[in-house]
Amino acid sequence: MAIIMKRNRVKKISLGFFILSTILIGLSSTSITAFTTYEPALNKGTVAFIVNQYNEGKWEDTVDRELDPDDFFDGDSDEIGARSKTTIKNVGNYKWDLHDALIFLLDVESFIDEDKLNENETLFLLSFLSKDYVDEVYPEKYYVWEALTVKWDFETEEFDESPDEKALILPIFKNPQDYNDLLEDYNKWTLSVNSTKVFLGKEPFPILDGDDFLWLLITSGIFTIARPFNSYLTTLIDKLDCDDAEVKGNTLILEKKGEEEYTVEVTFSDQGMQSSLVIKNDEGRVIYEIAQDNTDMVVLIVSGVIAASVAGILIVLIIRRKKFRQ
Amino acid sequence: MAEDRKKMQLLEKKEKYDNLYLAALPVVTTYLFELKKQWKKFVIFSLVAVSFVILLSYLPYALIPDNPLPDTQADYFQSGLNFLIMIVIFGSCFFFSGIICSEYGDKTGFITFPIINKYKLVTGKFLGALTLMIGVVAAFYITLGVLGIYWYGGPINYRYYYSFGIAILYVLAVGSFVTFLSSFMPNVNITIVSAIMFLLIANMIIDSLVMLLYPEFEPIYSLNHATDLISYILVEDFPTKLEDRYEEVEFRNFSRRIWLTPTIEMGITIFLVYTIVCLVVAAIIFKRRQL
């Protein structure tokens, strides 16, 4: 009898230990589940944008006297009514490294002005940009969803048949923390190249802080985010340690200083792409606005509703006629 | 006197219109009858056309994220039009195969021909079948066009309408060819089988043989070659020079020439020649055929 009671006690203790360990493991693993997992929201298809507002005088007084909107957003983006469009061809999983970021995201090749350099100087500078060199010194890989797109720049007239950019890549970093790692690597790379550039008497590559980098991402036109958008943006500005940025819902608000202080509000669509960009002066007046243009989709929906209605009426008429004959 | 002459002229004019109306009435009646008779086939083929567009031009892009969309709307239409040829061949075989031979196979010619002129009867049937077949092709083009707007936004590339026009000419040519077969075949089934065999298999064999024997000869006799124009017209820079319209392919020291497209004029001419020749020969055979 005593042996049976002892066995039961052992069983109870074992069961209690099992339940306790299960609870403890569960508690400890909550820190793992607390990490947000991001998902891409991009779908194949075409997104069009339109310049809704542009106050040239206010732009010059507030943003920049030298540079116009087309210096930031390409094409005829300094004309009200100009439209641009981007077709997303596919979305896939890839690994990026600093070399990819230097070429596709930061476009450092455009800083190397070959006209002002002789052949040896150009080759020497380009050696810092070679894939072998960059991969060897900065081996870190970043996981991204990559969308292959074609893009038509802003135009006031009908779009040309062929796109202006035939292989534009939109990267969505799976972890927004990676943007900060990338920025740090970029700044290290810049420091290593700048000594040579200065030695050659050329202008050095800019060293960027979080706010500069964020502005560069936005003006590049390829900055795309993953779902949940608010969490992604909040993490991004935290990790980049941005002082002049805040997030409200799906909107990123940047405080900028040009000729005067102004704000830039960038709203992201349900696909994670920049759907609108509004520049306001310190009085809250809109100086410049780019918005998503949904005209085609409205036309498609209206046509679909009309076609469905006509088909429905025809079917009802045929059924009634058949019944009448019977 | 002048008034009487005017009245006479008016009466003559009215009589002329009345005669024209009476002459056209059997054609119109047969045309409407053909539409009513074949509408179920039309609905089935239209559904097949729409289904194939969705299966081949929507689902592969919607379900496979890695499968890239073509760069432009025109490229998308070009890739989506590949299956149209099959729809036209099968549809035409079913719509046009009974135009002449069914009158003999079912012996209905005994009833109708003394009452209605047999040429008017066949013309009405041909126009009815042609209308329905154009409807099927239109359903294909409309669905693909809507998908083109869905993926790329509007407006639809203007060359898409040219492609539709050429597709109608192709329907006319294939329909005429099937009508020609129908004029001497004993029944509908044999006409359908023969037409499919010829348009899908025999044509391809003849093209391959000509390509082997005379590699530099452009197959201007071939309907297959002319059909390339339906999709190739969508290319932004349509090739105008001869050397741009073919590709030389070399395989183990053997070179062969693949023709990409005929010129626009040549393609249209091929379709019209097929149409006219087939209809004229069909009319001659039909005239001599005994019930």
d(CA A289, CA A279): 6
Question: How many domains in chain A?
Answer: 2
A300 belongs to a structural domain: yes
Residue B165: per-residue pLDDT: 96
Question: Does an H or E element contain B26, and which?
Answer: helix B2-57
A contacts of B74 (beta carbons < 8 Å): 161
d(CA A197, CA A195): 6
Q: Are B34 and B124 in contact (CB under 8 A)?
A: yes
**φ/ψ (deg, to 5) at A272:** 85, 5
B contacts of A304 (beta carbons < 8 Å): 146
A326 belongs to a structural domain: no
What dihedral angle (degrees, nearest 10) is formed by the CA atoms of A276, A281, A287, A288? -30
Are A225 and A96 contained in the same domain?
Answer: yes
- Which parts of chain A register pLDDT below 70? 1-8, 10-13, 15-36, 113-117
Are A273 and A172 contained in the same domain?
Answer: yes
d(CA B124, CA A68): 66
Are A17 and A125 contained in the same domain?
Answer: no
The whole domain housing A15 covers 1-35
Are A98 and A171 contained in the same domain?
Answer: yes
Measure CB to CB from residue A161 to each of B67, B74, B154 and give the nearest one: B74
Residue carrying structure tokens 């990819």: A100
Residue B154: per-residue pLDDT: 79
A285 belongs to a structural domain: yes
3-class DSSP assignment, residue A145: strand
ipTM: 0.76
Are A142 and A190 contained in the same domain?
Answer: yes
Residue A288: count other Cβ atoms within 10 Å of its Cβ: 27
Tell me, yes or no, if the pTM score tops 0.90: no
d(CA B279, CA B287): 12
Q: Are B90 and B196 in contact (CB under 8 A)?
A: yes
Query: HSE on the CB side for A130, CA within 13 Å?
Result: 10
Say what percent of chain B tops pLDDT 90.
53
Nearest CA to CA, how far is A106 from chain B (Å)?
25
d(CA A226, CA A137): 29
Are A82 and A157 contained in the same domain?
Answer: yes
pLDDT tens per residue, range A142-200: 999 999 999 999 999 888 889 999 889 999 999 999 999 999 999 998 888 888 777 77
Residue B110: per-residue pLDDT: 55
Q: Are B34 and B27 in contact (CB under 8 A)?
A: no
DSSP code of B64? -
Measure CB to CB from residue B151 to each of A45, A91, A166 and give the nearest one: A45
In the β-sheet with A83-96, what is the strand arrangement from edge to edge?
A165-173, A142-155, A83-96, A45-54, A286-293, A274-281, A261-268, A251-257, A245-248
3-class DSSP assignment, residue B77: helix
A112 belongs to a structural domain: yes
Are A28 and A52 contained in the same domain?
Answer: no
Residue of B nearest to A40 (CA): B65
Residue of A nearest to B153 (CA): A296
Residue A261 neighbours by CB under 8 Å, 6+ apart: A255, A282
Contact A45 B150 (CB under 8 A): yes
A318 belongs to a structural domain: no
A322 belongs to a structural domain: no
3-class DSSP assignment, residue A246: strand
Question: From its phi and psi, is residue A172 left (phi > 0), alpha (psi between -120 and 50) or beta?
Answer: beta
A253 belongs to a structural domain: yes
> What's the start-to-end Cα distance of chain B, in Å?
55
Contact B236 A296 (CB under 8 A): no
The long-range contacts involving B164-169, CB below 8 angstroms and separated by at least 24 positions, are: B164/B137, B164/B138, B166/B229, B166/B230, B166/B233, B166/B267, B166/B268, B166/B271, B167/B84, B167/B88, B167/B137, B167/B141, B167/B230, B168/B134, B168/B137, B169/B268, B169/B271, B169/B272, B169/B275
d(CA B220, CA B215): 13
Residue of A nearest to B76 (CA): A89
A98 belongs to a structural domain: yes
The widest CA-to-CA distance across chain B, in whole angstroms, is: 90
**DSSP-derived pairing of the beta strands A165-173 and A245-248:** unpaired
Residue A323: per-residue pLDDT: 84
pLDDT tens per residue, range B117-162: 888 888 999 999 999 999 999 999 999 999 999 999 878 889 999 9
Residue of B nearest to A92 (CA): B66
Q: Please list the residues that pair with A88 across neighbouring strands.
A: A45, A149
- Which parts of chain B register pLDDT below 70? 1, 105-115, 290-291
